[in-house]
Structure 1
Amino acid sequence: MPAANGMPNSAHGPQKSCFPLSLDNINPKVKEAQYAVRGEIVIRAKEIEDEIASGKSDKPFKTIMYCNIGNPQQLGQHPVTYFRQVLALCDYPELIESGKAEGVFPSDVIERARRYLAAMPGGTGAYSDSRGAMVLRKDIAKGIEERDGFPCNPDFLYLTDGASQGVHAMMRLLLRDDKDAILVPIPQYPLYSATLALYGGHLLPYYLHEETGWSLSVDDLKSQTYKARSEGRHVRALVVINPGNPTGQVLSVENQKEILEFCRDEGIVLMADEVYQANIYKQGKTFTSFKKVLSQMDSKDVTLASMHSISKGFYGECGRRGGYLELMNVNPDVVSEFYKLASINLCSNLNGQICMALVMNPPREGEPSYKLYAEERQSLLDSLKRRAIKLHKTLSSLEGVTCTEPEGALYAMPQIRLPKAALEAAKKTGKAPDFFYCKQLLEETGIVTVPGSGFKQEEGTFHFRTTILVPEKDTDEVAKRLVKFHNDFLAKYGEPEQ
């Protein structure tokens, strides 16, 4: 019988709410997980954006500049024409069957779509193999072989909804209880701390060295590993992000060899996050995959999980959620369990799978689409390089700010030395000092960044991360807003602490 207040009764008396879920009874691991790149500052940015759209804003700007996340097409980047053309025909094969595609789409686009559709019963609306459609995995394997010069078995490729799904899968496979630890770079991409929280593992930090270009020291890996083991933890894996996010560094082959030797000697799995491999800006720097280095070492004793994505590079197809994970040197019994994990999800989305195959196996020289594809690729990469250089120059000009030159990826991670009065003001709000800075930056300029505290950082230092993705035509305006804000901030709160 309902209680007098109209609410249902229970064995413990009248319920106070009709909602069966509350913060007190949901999974505490969900509450523990944090994801700064879409956190409180972004929520406030959306509110301001709505106020501007409704004419109720009193802000001195009319646009929000989302520099918080690597989301290129949201900021106006044009998609790669070839990718979109093939996807369009795969989604609407009637254009091919009716002959209407002829003369509208290049012949190699039509041929690629025909080949994919012939090998994918049901097209993009049907489930594929849980690892991904074989025709697409073969194209990706071909691209990996050409990149590295070593064979790639498509049976060890798993196509995923972005690289993030690959990270989740590895965490589910590796983490047994809270004694299991994974080495994660600090500063880190919050995906790693969030998934570790969700699956109950322990984040074991190793600090990148800002003073030497965010370098990675194997001695630090050893120190943290031995300390964790002395405390009863099991170090299961090492995460390396190359090129770095949020730090933008590119590892040398010599450093990669040291890392692989460490993993071999310590029996630790290497998780290689390589989603920014196309984004290299600094002269003399090149990307080399961990798979290539491991293959050159001819070592069978290191288990490697390599991840890539269609979200970054010069393609920026974030919303299509495509990626892959390649396993190397894994016990066959464990591979079967990983396949089972993939099967539980049925399969990743087919459009993302197709786009991943196009990224790894694009048009070839001599094909009708090659010229436009090559021009678009070069134009986008050249523009990203110019924007990276300009952003670094702007940030380095600010008083109390030091910024390591971005070698790759899509970000800069400047360190900010804040005035004592600003630190005291931040303390009164209960927020971290770099959050305090970034929140005011948003309110006064419309520029959305992520506080360094959201990525974790060395104690006593403050940073923020910003993307280099603002449209090139707007970079001068963003620089102007940033410089004015920073100077006004110092005028208000005083000289930076040394």
Structure 2
Amino acid sequence: MQRAAALVRRGCCPRTPGPWGRSQSSAAAEASAVLKVRPERSRRERILTLESMNPQVKAVEYAVRGPIVLKAVEIELELQRGIKKPFTEVIRANIGDAQAMGQQPITFLRQVMALCTYPNLLDSPSFPEDAKKRARRILQACGGNSLGSYSASQGVNCIREDVAAYITRRDGGVPADPDNIYLTTGASDGISTILKILVSGGGKSRTGVMIPIPQYPLYSAVISELDAIQVNYYLDEENCWALNVNELRRAVQEAKDHCDPKVLCIINPGNPTGQVQSRKCIEDVIHFAWEEKLFLLADEVYQDNVYSPDCKFHSFKKVLYEMGPEYSSNVELASFHSTSKGYMGECGYRGGYMEVINLHPEIKGQLVKLLSVRLCPPVSGQAAMDIVVNPPVPGEESFEQFRREKESVLGNLAKKAKLTEDLFNQVPGIHCNPLQGAMYAFPRIFIPSKAVEAAQAHKMAPDMFYCMKLLEETGICVVPGSGFGQREGTYHFSKQRPGAQELIQKSAEMMHPKHGSSLLSGTHCTACADPAGMAARVAERAGAAQPGFTHQE
């Protein structure tokens, strides 16, 4: 290009000789020739391609926002354009976003957030004094009295103090130190951060991370991103998804042949399985972690979502403390909580915290350093987390309204859990375990053998085949069990439970053969009548060329 430009600039008229005795016309001709060939010469391979990108990122899968969801978006757009479907709306049941499914926000939290966001409202008589008091305390702890300023990397100090006080109350007086509290961008950020510090080594000494199967896909995604070794332990579906310590022993012994098992992840209450662990089970897990020298990660974001009268939430921190100093002084534990679940359902604020105990002082410094790289979690999310752990108390102006709203949300979630369980168990070909807690159902589906063969012939997981067909026939968007992990030969799907009871009823009815669904019928399934054609169409629509989620390699 530089040469061509120089050729054009030579001389002042077409007949003026150039510096080498040529006319400008000949120089221009040469310039034109250079420009004509340049496009071909300028073509080169892009620096960033699927082959050259970070292979760990390429290996990441996240089923709850995978091809099924992309197809749901496509169908919604088609409905908006007036394209006829067997249904009038897409029912999004793929992700635990309570407010997106109709749950109303808690008034007190939104009042405090409004006051913090626009402090001029502190002079308004429309807001209760206890909300103003909370907002002033949070703002006074922020730089410039503004949520728009950075906080300390570990989080706003007074909010960390409130989190520690909450944990102490929750655990019946077991002390919590604010210095062990780290505010995070949702619980997910805390989980990925602590795993970054834990993963090390190479070859057979590479860190192994034990995760439950079924699992929340965040775990497998972070493990892939960090190039760690995923060590699966299976929950007992026949026993209401209970955790069996003998299964932990099997998993860790087998893993020692090819990695260094160092981390044990627990999700309680379970996601996507909805079970609540007993105290005895937690004691057994802690003893196992102590015995095998494992770092415990306790994902407890659903701690307020316990519905069965026979179940109670026990925090790992409390049980660890009550097992005595041999355990409480030695077992390293990181526990996680969030604004997104419980009765608040404030997913969009991305508030969360982790409490990390028995961490080596030098490692604590490394953790703060890692958090400092990203400066701080969103201060608005930190403020929302403060209201989760420091809500109105008896005697305060807002308490009665807060109590009514909290009880209403949790009561409705409990009713929906029971309704979902009962309705699924009325559908031929579906079995749902008791839903003790959390916000999801993970029913087992018994797919006709011909449909299984058709899906496998096109390298599509059978439950993905089922979920895609469910979406196209009924408009219900759920996530295939293969995205969470499941025992070989079993098939499931994950469905979130929030939303109007009418939607839950409608979803179950649309899956039932008596209402026209052929999804689990061996005689009326179009996939069985034309397995190759149906599987090919579904594979094409699901994006058969995309890696992960849908396909078995």
- TM-score, normalised via structure 2 length: 0.85
Q: Report the Cα distance in structure 2 between the residues aligned to 1:474 and 1:455, rounded to whole angstroms.
A: 24
Distance 1:225 1:346, change over 3 A: same
Indicate if the aligned counterparts of 1:398 and 1:486 stay in contact, CA closer than 8 A: no
1:409 matched to 2:438: yes
1:15 matched to 2:43: yes
Give the C-alpha shift of residue 433 in structure 1.
0.3
Alignment map for 1:53-452 (pairs within 5 Å): 53-55=80-82, 57-96=83-122, 99=123, 101=124, 103-122=125-144, 123-148=146-171, 149-177=173-201, 179-229=206-256, 231-298=257-324, 299-452=328-481
1:480 matched to 2:512: no
Q: Report the Cα distance in structure 2 between the residues aligned to 1:237 and 1:485, rounded to whole angstroms.
A: 47
Distance 1:464 1:424, change over 3 A: same
Residue 541 of structure 2 corresponds to none
Structure 1 gaps of 5+ residues are none
> Greater relative contact order: 1 or 2 (C-alpha under 8 angstroms, separation 6 or more)?
1
Indicate if the aligned counterparts of 1:157 and 1:326 stay in contact, CA closer than 8 A: yes
Tell me the secondary structure at the aligned position of residue 208 of structure 2.
Answer: strand
Q: Report the Cα distance in structure 2 between the residues aligned to 1:30 and 1:73, rounded to whole angstroms.
A: 30
Residue 20 of structure 2 corresponds to none
Tell me the secondary structure at the aligned position of residue 124 of structure 1.
Answer: coil
Give the C-alpha shift of residue 20 in structure 1.
3.2
Tell me the secondary structure at the aligned position of residue 354 of structure 2.
Answer: strand
Mean Cα displacement is larger for which, 134-143 or 419-428?
A: 419-428
Which amino acid letter does the alignment assign opposite residue 463 of structure 1?
Answer: H
Q: Provide, for residues 320-371 of structure 1, a one-character-per-residue CA deviation record: whole Å limited to 9, x for no partner.
A: 1010010011111111111111111110001111111111111001111111
Indicate if the aligned counterparts of 1:182 and 1:239 stay in contact, CA closer than 8 A: yes
Tell me the secondary structure at the aligned position of residue 381 of structure 2.
Answer: helix
Q: Report the Cα distance in structure 2 between the residues aligned to 1:171 and 1:197, rounded to whole angstroms.
A: 11
Indicate if the aligned counterparts of 2:295 and 2:331 stay in contact, CA closer than 8 A: yes
Give the C-alpha shift of residue 270 in structure 1.
0.2
Q: Report the Cα distance in structure 2 between the residues aligned to 1:279 and 1:106, rounded to whole angstroms.
A: 28
Give the C-alpha shift of residue 218 in structure 1.
1.0
Indicate if the aligned counterparts of 2:103 and 2:499 stay in contact, CA closer than 8 A: no
Indicate if the aligned counterparts of 2:432 and 2:444 stay in contact, CA closer than 8 A: yes
Q: Report the Cα distance in structure 1 between the residues aligned to 2:194 and 2:370, rounded to whole angstroms.
A: 10
Which amino acid letter does the alignment assign opposite residue 117 of structure 1?
Answer: L
Which amino acid letter does the alignment assign opposite residue 300 of structure 1?
Answer: S
Give the C-alpha shift of residue 471 in structure 1.
1.7
Distance 1:5 1:378, change over 3 A: farther
Bigger radius of gyration among the two:
2
Q: Report the Cα distance in structure 1 between the residues aligned to 2:409 and 2:101, rounded to whole angstroms.
A: 13
Which ranges of 4 or more aligned residues in structure 1 deviate by more than 6 Å?
none
Q: Report the Cα distance in structure 2 between the residues aligned to 1:394 and 1:286, rounded to whole angstroms.
A: 25
1:492 matched to 2:492: no
Indicate if the aligned counterparts of 2:56 and 2:224 stay in contact, CA closer than 8 A: yes
Distance 1:3 1:264, change over 3 A: farther
Q: Provide, for residues 169-204 of structure 1, a one-character-per-residue CA deviation record: whole Å limited to 9, x for no partner.
A: 011101114521010000111000000000010100
Indicate if the aligned counterparts of 1:177 and 1:201 stay in contact, CA closer than 8 A: no
Give the C-alpha shift of residue 487 in structure 1.
4.7
Give the C-alpha shift of residue 297 in structure 1.
1.3
Q: Report the Cα distance in structure 2 between the residues aligned to 1:74 and 1:459, rounded to whole angstroms.
A: 34
Q: Provide, for residues 220-262 of structure 1, a one-character-per-residue CA deviation record: whole Å limited to 9, x for no partner.
A: 1112212222x14111100000000011110001110111111
- TM-score, normalised via structure 1 length: 0.94
Which amino acid letter does the alignment assign opposite residue 162 of structure 1?
Answer: G
Number of residues of Structure 1 aligned to a counterpart in Structure 2? 485
Structure 2 gaps of 5+ residues are 2-33, 529-553
Give the C-alpha shift of residue 133 in structure 1.
0.1
Indicate if the aligned counterparts of 1:419 and 1:494 stay in contact, CA closer than 8 A: no
Q: Provide, for residues 424-479 of structure 1, a one-character-per-residue CA deviation record: whole Å limited to 9, x for no partner.
A: 22123321000000000000111110100000110111111111113224232222
Q: Report the Cα distance in structure 1 between the residues aligned to 2:413 and 2:74, rounded to whole angstroms.
A: 29
1:31 matched to 2:89: no
Which amino acid letter does the alignment assign opposite residue 157 of structure 2?
Answer: M
Q: Report the Cα distance in structure 2 between the residues aligned to 1:451 and 1:232, rounded to whole angstroms.
A: 29
